[in-house]
Chain A
Amino acid sequence: MIGQPCNDLRPLQEILDRYPREEAALIQVLQDVQRAYNYLPSDAIEKVAEGLGVPLARVYSVATFYKAFTLTPRGKTLVKVCLGTACHIRGAKQLVEEVERVAGIKPGETTPDRSLTLETVNCVGACAMAPVVIVGAKYHGGVKTADIRTILGSAASLAK
């Protein structure tokens, strides 16, 4: 079964009440659901389809198309390594490999203890400070391979 139910739809109802019942609100609603639950629970997706009067298959299609949405819970801390052009030619690839080595996960995966998720993103618009790594809401610029361990800090149960 792809996706996970969350069995607590109260927050979802509050989100739905804020939007008109039309397909145009779909992506904004899913954004709020992603922020509230840190992923898109399967039962929430069904409720959104009902709430907005959009076929479930179309909501599922939107949920899997856009990169902002995930169907499985993400880690408490989200680490994003920017792979924009400026960051790429300043060695972002090595940073991704270092995080893989240190946290033991590949891009798109979450550590077993669900403390950290690694993702790559294709440019966050801070190119003047390439290469950029974002840990949670904190942006880090000009990151070197050696800094990764310090940046991740307590966020992850780091492989020693």
Chain B
Amino acid sequence: MRIDSRAAFDAAVQAAKEKVTGRKRQVFVCCGTGCLANGSAAVAEAFAQQIAEKGLDVSLGLFLKRTGCHGFCQRGPLVVVQPEGVLYTRVRPLDVTEILDQTVANGHCVERLVYRDPSTKAPVPKYADIPFYANQTRVAMRNIGKVDPADIEDSLANGAYAGLVRALNDLSPDEVIAEVERAGLRGRGGAGFPTARKWRATAMAKGERKFVICNGDEGDPGAFKDRSILEGDPHSVIEGMVIGAYAVGAHEGFVYVRDEYPLAVVHLGVAIAQAREWGLLGKNILGTGFDFDIKVSRGGGAFVCGESSALMRSLEGKVGEPRAKYVHASERGLYDCPTVLNNVETWSDVSAILARGGDWFARWGTEKSKGTKAFSLVGKVKNTGLIELPMGMTLRRIIFDIGGGILKDRPFKAVQTGGPSGGCLPESCLDLPVDYEQLTAAGSMMGSGGMIVMDDRTCMVDVARYFLRFLVEESCGKCVPCREGLRQMLAIYDRILEGRGRPDDIGRIERLARGMKLGSLCELGKSAPNPVLSTLRYFRDEYVAHIERGECPAGMCRALTRYEIITEKCTGCHLCTRACPTGAIVGKPKQKHAIDQGKCISCGACYDVCRDDAIRFGGRGRPEVAAAAQ
């Protein structure tokens, strides 16, 4: 079914809508990577089987739809029943019959499967009422969880490609760029470079062969919004890229997808094939004579390829080594031709902006950072998952209102944003509105939207080392400050966390961090010191504790921490004995327990399960001090 004119497009959308309205009742089963891991495939299978057996699709007009990731993965497998709008969490195949009989057949809600508010424990059946979703404003993720990624008609019925039709038929390339400029859209990859300015530079660059690239590398640990968009609504990205190509005059496009996202590659491939089939991609798009095609390129497994020039080397089949960007990619990018490279979320926003207009997008956000931003809220927070919010919302509201507060109500300590190039922000920054300028000023970065919440049981010096170890593994090794600097910085941290820190270590770290920030060739090296510098800026006392007193305030550094049971408080509940991996806790149930220091590896599992605060930890002191004490 090929659309080769505006009229044909409208007819196709109409037909798609009728198909949907025919479905009086719908069951949405989330088939994103998260829910699949929890067994949602079996749940979908059970639904399909029982619907067929009972002939419900005929009698009730029931339609089963496999959708992309709703973003609430921790509570998966997720099932939504429409038109009631009820969300069921942790659904297992044997619950299917009950859902069909109760909710689908006669609209009753299955109490035990409904989401319960973590603090008040009250059931919240309606999808829209759950705070996790209520406070969100979804633009880039507008169709995720609503459309079946493998069915283009479903996307068409939900407004897909409307922006493209408007762009190709009503607007000139400059007007398209002006629309994006009016929206105030900035790059969602992390740096926040104004998208319109980037497009305009590429449009004006000389060269008849130009490229459009979607950066789906998303190497930041703790970030998975790009995965969810690519898996859940690939058409929004495809549409955005065609619009971008039209604006800058490019005819070849690439989507670079991470090696760790196999499902995204599959869904994207299906969507591209369907888009070509329907005349929305490839030759003579929508009959307007504009040609543009997209190839999917699977990454090789290298975080550095998230950096634009390294990504282009990878697309050229080369090693992912960045090049100095003294000449911008908009003039000499892929194969030294003018190239536009934007993040997955940016492309998805573009398609919404062209459909609804720049002013509609610019209503949200702050003065300089317009629109909405998707975050992956993870770590020690009750509601972990994908959220999309207007720019300018405060960290406190995100973590406590939407995130439902800290796990097990432990005290909040820090939130890490921007991944390995970002920083850790303490309690004092909780009232910061989240946008590019504020986060950078506070010493962190917007980055790709990873937001990792940490409680008092997280050692900030260990977090800084975690990022250093990550970067040592992911550095491409080309330039000296990054390759050698990261190795030496990690060596200093290893020393500190074993209690062998030296007084001048902090000075040496700061000097090396400055050398890397100014000397490195690409953003990976230049931003590598950010986690170090931000933890030094806000949690300097923890460094001093480790170096001078050989003590870890969070009790996580094994070499420095000693666990003991406070005998008077111990109730003999035996929980800790079961949790201990090395059997280091001695004592029968109902009796006082004690820790055998010889076997104890200070992993802290006992401390986490003990409900009576009968276990405490303290610093072992610096090795030479501890040795003298023995």
Q: Is the CB of B379 within 8 A of A85?
A: yes
The residue in A27, A88, A90 that gathers the most chain B C-beta atoms within 10 A of its C-beta is: A27
Q: Which residues of B contact A86 (CB under 8 A)?
A: 221-222, 378-379, 384, 452
Complex CA–CA separation, A88 to B458 (angstroms): 10
Question: Could you tell me which residues of chain A, from 54 to 108, have a CB within 8 Å of some CB in chain B?
Answer: 54, 58, 61-62, 65-69, 83-90, 94, 98
Contact A66 B224 (CB under 8 A): no
> Which of A5-13, A18-26, A109-117, A152-160 forms part of the interface with chain B?
A18-26
In the assembled complex, which residues on chain B have CB atoms less than 8 Å from the CB atom of A98?
581
Number of interface residues, chain B, beta carbon within 8 A: 59
In contact, A123 and B260 (Cβ under 8 angstroms): yes
Verify A94–B302 contact, CB threshold 8 A. Answer: no
CA distance A153 to B605 in the complex (A): 24
Q: What is the CB-to-nearest-CB distance from B553 to chain A, in angstroms, rounded to a whole number? A: 15
A141 and B317 within 8 A (CB):
no
Q: How far is the CB of A114 from chain B (nearest CB, A)?
A: 22
Judge whether B297 and A85 touch: CB under 8 Å. Answer: no
Q: Is the CB of A15 closer than 8 A to any CB of chain B?
A: no
| Beta-carbon nearest neighbor of A124 in chain B | B260
**Residues 279-310 of chain B, each 1 if its beta carbon lies under 8 Å from chain A, else 0:** 00000000000000000011111110000000
* Residues in A neighbouring B573, C-beta threshold 8 A: none
The answer to whether B260 touches A85, judged by C-beta atoms less than 8 angstroms apart, is no
> Binary interface profile of B, 53-94, with partner A (CB < 8 Å = 1, else 0)?
000000000000000000111101000000000000000000
Q: Are B419 and A129 neighbours in the complex by a CB distance under 8 Å?
A: no
Task: Check B74 against A26 for contact (C-beta < 8 Å).
Answer: no
| Chain A residue at minimum C-beta to C-beta distance from B33 | A126
B74–A128 contact, CB under 8 A? Answer: yes
B297 touches A127 (CB 8 A): no
Known: A84-B222, A86-B384, A128-B34. A24 touches B315 (CB 8 A): yes
Is there a chain B Cβ closer than 8 Å to A130's Cβ?
A: yes
B35 to nearest A CB, angstroms? Answer: 9
A36 contacts the other chain (Cβ, under 8 Å)? no
Known A-B contacts A85-B221, A122-B474; the reply to A24 vs B317 at CB < 8 A is: yes
B409: chain A residues at CB < 8 Å are none
Chain A interface residue count, CB cutoff 8 Å, equals 46
Once the chains bind, are B452 and A85 in contact (CB under 8 Å)? Answer: yes
Most central of B38, B220, B221, B297 by chain A CB within 10 Å: B221
Cβ A128 vs Cβ B72 within 8 A: yes
- Please tell me if the beta carbons of B303 and A54 are within 8 angstroms of each other in the complex: no
Task: Check A68/B301 contact, CB under 8 A, given A85-B379, A85-B450, A125-B224.
Answer: yes
**Contact, CB under 8 Å: B300 / A89:** no
Q: Which of A23, A31, A69, A127 contacts B378 (CB 8 A)?
A: A127
Cβ contact within 8 Å between A122 and B458? no
Write the A116-158 contact mask toward B (1 if CB under 8 angstroms, else 0).
0000011111111110100000111110010000000000000
Among the listed A69, A94, A123, A125, which residue makes an inter-chain contact with B300, where contact means beta carbons less than 8 Å apart? A69
Q: How many angstroms between the C-alpha atoms of A54 and B317 in the bound complex?
A: 10
| Also in contact, A61 and B319, with CB within 8 A (given A86-B452, A89-B458, A141-B34) | yes
Report Cα–Cα, A88/B450, bound state, in Å: 14
User: Given the complex, which residues of B lie within 8 Å of A129, measured CB to CB?
Assistant: 34, 37-38, 73-74, 76
Scoring B residues 16 to 40 as 1 if CB is less than 8 Å from chain A, else 0, what string do you get? 0000000000000000011011100
Is B385 interfacial (CB 8 A cutoff)? yes
The answer on a CB contact under 8 Å between B317 and A140 is: no
Give the residues in chain A near B463, CB-CB below 8 Å: 85, 89
A28: CB under 8 A from chain B?
yes
Q: A66-B300, A98-B581, A123-B222 are contacts. A27–B72 as well, Cβ < 8 Å?
A: no
Known: A65-B476, A85-B466, A127-B223. 9 other contacts (CB 8 A): A27-B317, A68-B301, A69-B301, A123-B260, A125-B224, A126-B37, A126-B73, A126-B224, A129-B34
Q: Which residues of A contact B (CB under 8 A)?
A: 22-28, 30-31, 52, 54, 58, 61-62, 65-69, 83-90, 94, 98, 121-130, 132, 138-142, 145
- A-B residue pairs in contact (CB < 8 Å), sample of 23: A23-B318, A26-B318, A27-B317, A58-B319, A62-B317, A62-B319, A65-B319, A68-B300, A68-B301, A85-B221, A86-B379, A87-B221, A88-B466, A123-B220, A124-B33, A125-B227, A127-B221, A127-B223, A128-B72, A128-B386, A130-B379, A130-B384, A141-B74
